[in-house]
Structure 1
Amino acid sequence: MSGSQQLSQSELEAALCGSSLEDRLGALRELCAQLGERPRRGTNVHIHTNESFSAFRSVTTAVWQAVREGVAVLGINDHYTVDGFEEFRRACEIAGIAPVFSLEAVAMDRAAEASDILLGDPDNPGRVYLCGKGVTRIPPDSSAAMQSLARMRAALERRNREMTAKVAHIFQERLGAEGPTWEAVRALTPRGNATERHVAWATLVRLRALAAERGAPLDEILERCCAAAPPTAEDDAALHIFVRSKLLKAGAPCYVRESEEAFVSIEELREAFLAFGAIPSYVVLGNPITSGERDIEALLDRLEAQGFYAIDVIPHRITRERLAEIVSAARRRWWPVFNGTEHNTPENQHLLDPFALDPAFEPWFRQSTAVLLRHQALAGRGQQGFIGENGRPTIPDARARFEYFSAVGR
């Protein structure tokens, strides 16, 4: 931190969200020094930050919460971007937390789409969420991998701009007022990686401002704008979901269907993640159970045929019974299971959900995270990682592979 004045904890925590990276990191350094050493337990290798959409107002804020909760290993996992990596690396170094670097994007399983099979998206056949786990290099902007991400982001930005314009029209039509602008949407994320969730958030911010300007109850303004009674709970997360569902989702007046360019094939996205030196991983939806995920063994067979040997789970949105089924199926194949909380809504939950520390799951999550850490360490030094550049496992035997890469710290 600049200056010599001693800041209170609340002032330091506010500085974690400041515009200066050095001030954010300086505040974290002082907070960690004040807190002292704490026991570390549990892993969370799938969180989004404000570089995409998140409850966290900065990357450093996420790391500070991990410090307070005693998280041992934390993983950044933003959509379509690696822009938060440097801040995350430096913040984790200050905090003494082992960092995992990953990214996420949506691909289209064309065969599943043609057969009307639902996989990782309960509403859109063929759509799957894929991660590149344990990134060990950043390809140049001119690379095929970066161009794939850029094309997807550009297509999604065109859609989000169009939805924002439709929201503005709804404001004029139903409220006789100016709606959110694209500039306001884009400003919600530091490098303009705006999503549909940002459009919904900017809409809610504008509705709150309009209610204040007119001295009107917020629920009245919300009902007029969304043509539906809002939820009685006025917390940000519930209202964000309400606005998004009534204005932006399929069937709502401001919905715009994604273009073909928004989704590359599974193979193209997998190749892109390999170019980042990462382990391709499939994010299991878990709940609701879709037609394509109902038979977990058949799903893992499908994934292996597509060149995947790892999965992500978000335990807090899965029942215990279903999570046990997923983890057991992966363990039988000696596949790592990477756990996390996403944090991609306005609601800030604990980074360690109950399942992260559950004796039935914690050992496998911990060993799977060790796989990531060793992959990052070895591949980052130019040695063989969990998956080779050709996309094949570097150790053919699945059990030997898992045991070798999970041996960190033993």
Structure 2
Amino acid sequence: MYLLKEYPSKEELLERRKGVFGIHEVNAHVHTPYSFSAFTDITQIFEMARKEKVKVVGINDFYVTDGYEPFYEEAIKAKVFPLFNMESICLMREEQQRQIRVNDPNNPGRCYFSAKGLDYPFRLSPPLKKKLSAVIAETQVQVKAMIQKCNEWLKQCNAPFFLDYETIKKNLAKELVRERHLAKAIRIAVWESEATDEGRLALLKKIYGGKESKTGVKNIPALENEIRSMLLKAGGAAFVPEDENAFMSLEEVMRIYLDAGGIPCYPVLLDDARGNFTEYEADYEKLFHELSRRGIGCIELIPGRNDLKILTDFVRFFKEKKFVILFGTEHNAPEMIPLTCDTRGNVPLTEELRKINYEGACVVAAHQYLRARGEEGFIYPCGHPKTDKQAEFIELGHVVIEKWIQ
């Protein structure tokens, strides 16, 4: 039984509210081992949440929701409010033809796109479930082709190991096998094949086609990223391009999210370390109009990528436009970082940004609560967000979160 279904009515909850509410730490975007994650298991997420006093955490895996049940169970134990989210990769073909980068800095037209506050348990209408399953299957076709090419290269290099899809899926991936899992599997195989640093470096040099490792073997997350770059990315011996026909359009992804009860949410890349923006995001006003015309009223950012001043200016602009705004850390790379959101260079979020993030989480919490009770959430039947009612959702979401975490 979903706990939110047993909560009192909206009116009863709001009656219990006392005075001005404080704000809680929120991380609205973490990946789990069900796609790829720095975390070894979901329990670890909530152990970190307790230590860092993060009170709201959102699961945000690629394409799959298999982690929802253990995430929910751990959230109850930890008294941390769970946000049920998802992420997909879609293709905006018009932008691709015009060579416009959206939120992938390396691939024009490629767009990462999330949903917040999906129904729990997750459910989809049969046609859309079939579509999503086909996309998931296609991602694994590419991974298997990559493993085959990798094994051909390893054989050519006389490496003392090979990769196996089923073994990787069983030992390293809960559900989807992704490119990062292959890099990790290669690193583990190198470790198992050679016991010394010298031997490992020599084997890596062989696998790299005679090139020395620049990261060395002490920093494992950096090494796994290097393996991925050297072998699995474009130009690498095991690189396999993705089939563009397998990508859904943004409109198809939004239909899936809305059918599953979610709030469509655009992940903003914003500035890189050199202060550069993608063409799609460089003009805030144009981005606002582009998202609005598509019925998108929610954005999320990974502040650790961004300069504090640029982030603040951007968030203020979209807050004024009544967008729901959320922050997260992803944790979809090998390196383990804190669960608490901060900005580039480990500069903490300001109180203003923390409040905006918490208010965004309150909107999603209220949406989940209302949907669990069979009521209409933050999305109108037409698919557009209730931006005019955001204050009501913030107030309701706060009391929902407070009840959960007490």
TM-score (norm 1): 0.85
Which residue of 345, 348, 359 corresponds with 2:336? Answer: 348
Question: How far apart, in 1, do the equivalents of 2:197 and 2:312 lie?
Answer: 51
Determine whether 1:99 maps to 2:82.
yes
Distance 1:308 1:154, change over 3 A: same
Question: How far apart, in 1, do the equivalents of 2:23 and 2:394 lie?
Answer: 18
Question: How far apart, in 2, do the equivalents of 1:407 and 1:152 lie?
Answer: 38
Report deviation, 1:239.
0.5
Gaps of 5+ in 2: 1-21, 400-406
SS of 2:363's partner is helix
Question: How far apart, in 1, do the equivalents of 2:84 and 2:395 lie?
Answer: 19
Distance 1:190 1:170, change over 3 A: closer
Q: Which amino acid aligns with 2:193?
A: L
Which residue of 235, 242, 249 corresponds with 1:258? Answer: 242
Q: How does 1:359-378 map to 2 (within 5 A)?
A: 359-378=351-370
Q: In 1, are the aligned partners of 2:215 and 2:226 still within 8 Å (CA)?
A: no
What's the CA shift string for 1:158-196, capped at 9, x where partnerless?
110011111111111123433222123222445431111
| Larger CA deviation: 258-267 vs 69-78 | 258-267
Q: In 2, are the aligned partners of 1:283 and 1:313 still within 8 Å (CA)?
A: yes
Distance 1:140 1:328, change over 3 A: closer
| Aligned residue number for residue 42 of structure 2 | 59
Determine whether 1:219 maps to 2:201.
yes
Q: Which amino acid aligns with 2:340?
A: L
| Larger CA deviation: 148-157 vs 265-274 | 148-157
Q: Which amino acid aligns with 1:384?
A: E
Determine whether 1:298 maps to 2:286.
yes
What's the CA shift string for 1:25-77, capped at 9, x where partnerless?
xxxxxxxxxxxxxx994100100011110011111221111111111111111
RMSD: 2.0
Q: Which amino acid aligns with 1:69?
A: E
Which residue of 29, 54, 63 corresponds with 1:80? Answer: 63
Which residue of 16, 20, 33 corresponds with 1:50? Answer: 33
Report deviation, 1:403.
1.0
Which residue of 132, 135, 139 corresponds with 1:149? Answer: 132
Q: How does 1:72-221 map to 2 (within 5 A)?
A: 72-138=55-121, 140=123, 143-212=126-195, 216-221=198-203
SS of 1:94's partner is helix
Deviation beyond 6 Å, 4+ runs, structure 1: none
Report deviation, 1:203.
1.5
Question: How far apart, in 2, do the equivalents of 1:203 and 1:301 lie?
Answer: 45
Report deviation, 1:96.
0.8
Count of aligned pairs between the two proteins? 367
Q: Which amino acid aligns with 1:380?
A: A
Distance 1:362 1:343, change over 3 A: same
Determine whether 1:70 maps to 2:53.
yes
Distance 1:83 1:167, change over 3 A: same
| Aligned residue number for residue 4 of structure 2 | none
Determine whether 1:332 maps to 2:320.
yes
Report deviation, 1:361.
0.7
Question: How far apart, in 2, do the equivalents of 1:180 and 1:111 lie?
Answer: 38
